[in-house]
Homo-oligomer: A and B are copies of this chain.
Amino acid sequence: MDETTTARLDHDRERRTGIPEVVLCERKSPDGAVAIMRRFMEREGRAIATRVTAEQAGSLLAAFPGGHHNALARMFTVGNLPAAAGRPIAVVCAGTSDLPVAEEAHEMLRALGHPVVRHDDVGVAGIHRTMAILPSLEPCTAVIAVAGMEGALASVLAGLIRQPVIAVPTSVGYGASLGGLAALLTMMNSCAPGICVVNIDAGFSAACVAHKFAAAFSGNGSKPS
């Protein structure tokens, strides 16, 4: 018995919640990752994996030569994914060390069919960089703000724009950053209203939140028949 065979795939999840079930590769063997991805491909014609290691990626590429491995985002996607459509969602990150988390959000938004406006290294230590991106955020429906260390980017943005801010604290930092808890607390306590927060390093979750809002507003909110 292993987790490949015991996993109860929730093929109905996308119909029910609007988000397809995604394979979290952490703690899986490369073969196990391939086996579960194959079950999704067979049933749904597409499969999405997160937290993919280099070794897992090798096995996945061998099994699914048409798949796409985004090494920075640690994601692997294969099959019929939707084309980008609708209004864009912004992904901005404070520092270059936060890139993997921003890239995970970006890649997941792509997999869900959203155009993305992307800006990196726009943290508040050089606030002119933050200010410079504001015009490009205007057409967006939401801004995913990725920041470690003290995580002030989300607060500053939320005081400047009409879009909601989905804040992603990252584990970038040291000492009193407490593995990302400091940034999480900063974002939770923001003096600027209109910020909501997801787990540390959870670029994937931020993309799902943005997608759910986009789906709720663009559709009629009721379940498809």
Within 8 A of B (CB), among A1-19: 1-3, 6-8, 10, 12-13, 16-19
The complex places the Cα of A87 from the Cα of B216 at a distance, in Å, of: 10
Knowing A174-B201, A176-B199, A213-B142 are in contact, say whether A191-B19 is a contact too (CB < 8 A): no
How many copies make up the complex?
Answer: 8
A187: which B residues are within 8 A, CB to CB?
150
A94: which B residues are within 8 A, CB to CB?
191
A53 interfacial contact with B, CB 8 Å: no
Instruction: Give the interface residue-count category, chain A.
Output: 35 or more
Contact between A190 and B121, CB atoms less than 8 A apart: no
> Which of B125, B163, B181, B185 makes the CB contact (< 8 A) with A158?
B125
* Chain A interface residues (CB < 8 Å from chain B): 1-3, 6-8, 10, 12-13, 16-19, 22, 24, 26-27, 72, 87, 94-97, 99, 103, 120-129, 138-142, 149-152, 155-156, 158-166, 169, 171-202, 204-206, 208-209, 211-223
